Chains A and B, each alone.
Chain A
Amino acid sequence: MKITSQEDFWAGIMFIAFGLLAIYISQDYPFGTTSRMGPGYFPTWLGIIMAVLGVMVAATGFRIKGEGVGKFAYKAMVLLSVAFVFFGWAIDHLGFVPALFVMIFLAAAAGKEFHFKEVLMMSVFLIIGSWALFIWGLELPFPLFWWR
Chain B
Amino acid sequence: MPLLAVDNLSVTFTAQGKRPVRAVDGVSFSLAEGSVAGLVGESGCGKSVSSLALLGLLPRRGVRVGGTATFDGTDLLRLPPKRMREIRGSELAMIFQDPLSSLNPVVPIGRQITETLARHRRMRGSAARKRAAELLERVGIPDPAARLRDYPHQLSGGMRQRALIAMAVACAPRLLIADEPTTALDVTIQAQILDLLGELVRSEGTALLLITHDLGVVAGLCDTVTVLYAGRVIESAPRHELFAAPRHPYTVGLLDSVPRLDAEQGQPLRPVRGSVTDAIDWSDGCAFAPRCDHYTMACLTGAPELTSVGGDRDGHHHRCVHPIHPTPEPSAARAAGEGSVR
Are A and B associated in one complex? no
What is the interface of chain A, defined by CB distance below 8 A to chain B?
none
